[in-house]
Amino acid sequence: MEIYPFSRIISGTMTWGTWGSRFSTHQMQALMEEAVALGIFTFDHADIYGGYTTEAEFGKAFQESSIDREAVHFITKCGIQMPCKARPLPIKHYDYSTTHIRMSVENSLRNLRTDYIDLLLLHRPSPLMDAEIIAEEIQKLQSEGKIKQLGVSNFTCSQIELLQKEVSLTWNQLECSLSHEQPLFDGTLDFMKVHDIGAMAWSPLGIYFKENTPQKERVKQVLIPLCEKYNCEEDQLLLAWLLYHPASIYPVVGTTSAARLQKSMEATKINLELPDWFLLLEASMGKPLP
């Protein structure tokens, strides 16, 4: 597969709005312009972010920016129906009907103020999804030029295989990090590589800055000396560990700090040595490899 030319670090927008920093239009505009200047020109969205508000806030800021639409890539997701102020639903559920897929795509196009979405991801797998119905609507949207590529997020190998019988998938955005290394061992990344499906990782720093656990303490004892060796910071080395994998994993970095985005880009230049990669893995696992 020819990898779609996304930036090596992807900027995640989930916490730009009401779910996090509550940025103003001007602040969003400034951050996206700084990101593009750093070489980060791919922005990851989902329709539900900010209770269905963040896409529109981003779109307004983007329209006021100096950035050419052809110079950036927009990723967004659909499928989750989330009860909130904007949608007073009785229960959270997943909807992959033709009506909902089209409504979500049309809403995202309006909100992001764009004519096309570079990559649409099906956000979570539904036990009721019908691959034929999904494929039919996606192919219509692609023929209309409204979406360029289709991918999935958080799907298992069998669920991907089911969909691929009907429609081409190019990416899977999954949880993967030093503290969530299961995709490296359960066949997920192997399957994706065999089937020419690109890998994106959400929460690429894992639990390291979120939780105080024995796993974190083990990793920290190894990580700190290695940061001195590579003259870098902890988050940079965690990204370098992920980037080392031959699946060419693209981290989705959720920071709202331009300085942290710059540090993330610098992490792509760290040349991690093989034994150090395994030292970190062993620390995370809490036991030697078999």
49 classed as catalytic: yes
Q: Between the CA of residue 144 and those of 70, 135, 137, 139, 147, what are the distances in Å?
A: 18, 14, 11, 9, 8
Residues 6+ apart with CB under 8 A from 30: 258
The distance of Cα 49 from the centroid of its chain, to the nearest Å, equals: 13
Q: From 280, 36, 34, select the one nearest 179 (Cα to Cα).
A: 280
Residues 32, 261, 45: CA angle, nearest 5 degrees: 50
CA distance 245 to 181: 11
CA distance 88 to 200: 31
Coil, strand or helix at 4: coil
Residues 6+ apart with CB under 8 A from 33: 65, 66, 67
Residue type, 254: G
The H or E element spanning position 221 is: helix 214-230
Q: Which of 49, 52, 96, 250 is catalytic?
A: 49
Tokens 């993330």 sit on residue: 264
CB 167 within 8 A of CB 131: yes
Token pair of 254 as six digits: 């959720």
Q: Between the CA of residue 282 and those of 36, 56, 260, what are the distances in Å?
A: 36, 43, 27
Sign, CA torsion 78/104/89/252? positive
Q: Phi and psi dihedrals of 232, rounded to 5?
A: -145, 180
Catalytic residue numbers, as ranges? 49
